[in-house]
Structure formats: structure tokens, C-alpha cells
Amino acid sequence: MAYYFDEPSRTFNEYLLVPGYSSKDCIPDEVNMSTPLVKHRRGKKPPIRINIPMVSAIMQAVSDDRMAIALAKEGGISFIFASQSVEDQAAMIRRVKDHKAGFVKSDSNVRPDQTLSDIITLKEKMGHSTVAVTEDGTPEGRIVGIVTSRDYRPSRMAPDMRVSEFMTPLADLVYGEDGISLSAANDILWERKLNALPIIDKQGRLTHFVFRKDYDSHKENPFELLDRQKRYLVGAGVNTRDYRERVPALVGAGADVLCIDSSEGFTEWQKDALSWVRAEYGDKVKIGAGNVVDRDGFLFLAEAGADFVKVGIGGGSICITREQKGIGRGQASAVRDVALARREYYEKTGEYVPICSDGGIVYDYHMTVALAMGADFLMLGRYFARFDESPTARLNIGGNYVKEYWGEGSNRARNWQRYDMGGEAGLSFEEGVDSYVPYAGPLKDSVAQSLGKIRSTMCSCGVTNIRDLQEKTKLTLVSSTSIVEGGAHDVILKDPGQGPR
């Protein structure tokens, strides 16, 4: 007969953290949120650590180059989505790696015959106030001018006014020549009191921008995640179909870490992909795998060579795998079981394989519960989809701003490779939905608030780093009655728009 687990399939919402002794030195400012991203031997430093335990999901609606840059500034890492052409994904990786070098490819460009309305629309879409005007409207076209927010006043100008009428023309621009050093470019920015310096080659084509705001980036973002060349770290998703073409392209573009993107990782397909990467690159290329929900799945992928293992099936807010296929497990039960297997593997081999909890996060405190249960870092989709930096449209529906958010298993994404079972190509039925999430503004503000809650909770548990949180924290199951007790109850809540009179 089938095997039955002894305990029910539990979620993070069914657990609470129990406070521990806190010394006077246990304060949020002293909490170290860094965590290993990839495997390492006992007593050795991990090849890659991230400065906060948050990574963005391998999803069209979440992780592109803009998200990767914004999250790396805060100390986390994005995995650029794989459900696109190899060339497009590699181009996103290159844009991230080029960005921190100080020379930024322009992603806001217009032709001189376009209009003020086009400028405003582009600014709303991209969030950038500096727009390059090139002859053909491409990032590498011959530059004829630039437009900044100081060049126009929407209230005083007609929407159909041509860009050529109000742009700052090339003849009036201060620019740097292609080949200029970053130090020299920054000197020009400060000496001429500029916010942006276009870099132009001998043919008059725009190659990059250097921005004043990037000069102070490190001071404003003390946890930013950088490689040895001071470039942002970035990850990328791959699948088990075209990895022989995709992996070399992504590695060549500069991807720091890869991850096999699949709803189910306990498969021969993933083992074959991992074996190929190890045969071609040895341990130089870091690649995670998943998803799994129990001991056997973890041990399979760890022994196959995964640098980290992703945990979770069916727990994402847009995932309907459980109701479609009856496959999955409560995220708390899955993380706990896999963490025990990770300990077993570590004691046996001396190799520590980090685990990533993917899905099941509804409230910020669930993040701390997941980490306490053994997760080294968290992969978040809905959480990051809400921000300005996600690649989806912001819409106004019923007077409320929302962002579009859809699953990789939806017909909209058409990412059949993620649900690949080795048959013919195609998405036979959906395992994800198309939805909206409440708009939450810029990433930086919300991430800072969420991390503040995690740090405060860790101090309440008497720990100042994630390893101690995993080893020393106490957790308790909660009843349905205590869940009600934990929120506001037996009172009449005031309407936030109505104060005392």
C-alpha cells in the first residue's frame, strides 16, 4: 500500500516562534542577514553568499534586468526568467552586469519625430526621467539629443509636440567619448553639475549613460551584492530541454548562478542537466535545482550535484498544481523535512547544500518562520511582482492601483518547459493563473520594512544571525482558535479615514 506521512501537511501559518532570552547586545542593527547561496564544504566559505535571504522568482511577471538591479542593490539576487529566447535572456544578463560598471545601456529611447505624449508614456512605463533621442529610436542609434524632466512641462505644452522641438540637442550636450574611464566620466558629472553623461562613439552613436546617482550608490545601499569587478550579481533560470544551448550563452553573458526552473525536480531530466553542467564546467558554474518537498527528493538532487535545492510544490499564490494534479505538500512540512535531510547529508558528506523555500509566504513573519525551519533563503514571486521594478503593467482597477501577475504554468506564460515530463512540446493544461496583485510602490521601501520585521523577530528569539535562528529557535504549532486570538478581536475597529471628533 502507499506510504503515509505521520503528520498532516502543514503551512507556515500554523506555527509561531517562541521568544528566547535576548541580551542587551541583541538589537536589530546587530543582526547579520547574510546567508550562503551555494554549497560548500565543512569549514570552508561558500563561493557565493547573499546579503539578505531574498531572491526573486524565475517568472516573466517578476524577474527581468530591472528587478535584478533593484534587488542586488538591497543585497539579494534575481533569477532572470527562462521562458524567453536564449538571446533575450542573455541580453538581460549583460545589461545587469554592465550596469554596475557605471556605464548603463539606455533603455528609454525615442526618435525626434515622436511626441511629448510618447515621452510621458515611456517615463510611466520605465520610471526613468532621462530619455535618449536617436535617429532610429534604438539604444545604439546616432544620438541627436536627450530629454530630461527639465525640458518639458506637460501642463504648458501640447501632447503632440514633437520631441525635436523641446529636446536638448546634441550641439548643446556635454558628453564623453567612447573609451573614457568611469573615474573621468564621474569627474565630468561633478565639474559640470550634470545628472547624466551620454557616452558617444566616433560614429556619433550612443553607447552608454553614466549617471550621477550611481556615484553614491554604495553609500545609499550598504548591502548591495557585487562581484569582484564591482558588478551586480545576477542569476538565471534554465530548463531541461535546451540547456545545452542556454547554459553556455548565459555563462558567457556573465550569469553568476543558474537554477533549473521546474515544478517537479525529482526527475531524471534534472539529473541529466546537472550531469551535463558538471561534465562541461566542473564546479565553476553554480546551478541549483528543484522543486522537491521531501527527504528523498533533496538527497536525489544533492547527490546529482545541485549547488542548492529549491523546496515547494503548489504553495505559490498563482500555482494551482495541487488542485489540478493533487501533487504537493504544505510548505512548512516540506521545508522541515528537507532541512532534516540536509543535516543528514551534511553529517555524512561534510557538504552543506543550502535550501531555498519557494512559495507559501503570505505574511512577512512567514519569512522568519521559514528561515527558522531551515531555509537558507526565500524565493518570492507575488511579493516582488507588486513593485515598480517588476516588468508588468501597473493598472488602475476600481480606483485601486494593481500590477499584473501570472504563473509560469498559465497559458499566458506558456512555459511548458517548466512542467516538462518528456513528452511532446506544449501546455496540455494550466497549473497557474493570471491575476493582479496590489501595487506597492518601489522595492526598496517594502524590502527594508520586511527585513526590519525579520531582524526584530530574530532579536525576540535571542539570535543575531540566520544560522543561530535555525539552531536555537523554538517553534510551536497553533490551533485555529489561537490564530484568531493572534489578530485584532472582540473590538470594533475604527475606520482609518475617520479620526475622533
Residues annotated as catalytic (active site), given as ranges: 319, 418
How many beta carbons lie within 10 A of that of residue 120, not counting itself? 13
Beta-carbon contacts of 308 under 8 Å, excluding residues fewer than 6 positions away, are 37, 38, 39, 259, 288, 289, 353, 354, 355, 356, 376
- Rounded Cα distance between 195 and 197, Å, is 7
- Helix, strand or coil for residue 56? strand
Distance between alpha carbon 442 and the CA centroid of its chain, in Å?
Answer: 14
Query: For residue 158, which amino acid is it?
Result: A
Residue 391 near residue 60 (C-beta atoms within 8 A): yes
Q: What are phi and psi of 200, to 5 degrees?
A: -125, 135
Tell me the residue type at 217: S
Residue whose C-alpha cell is 529549491? 310
User: Phi-psi bin for 75: left (phi > 0), alpha (psi -120 to 50), beta?
Assistant: left
Q: How far apart are CA 258 and CA 274, in angstroms?
A: 11
CA–CA dist 153, 142 (Å, integer)? 26
Burial class of residue 16, CB neighbours in 10 A (0-12, 13-18, 19+):
middle
Q: Which residues pair with 109 in a beta bridge?
A: 132
Q: What is the DSSP letter of 426?
A: S
What residues are paired with 288 via a beta bridge? Answer: 259
**What's the farthest any 2 CA atoms get from each other in the chain?**
81
**Contact criterion met (CB below 8 Å) for 471 and 29:** no
Q: How far apart are the first and last CA of the chain?
A: 68
In SS3 terms, 93-145 reads as HHHHHHHHCCCECCCCEECCCCEHHHHHHHHHHHCCCCEEEECCCCCCCEEEE
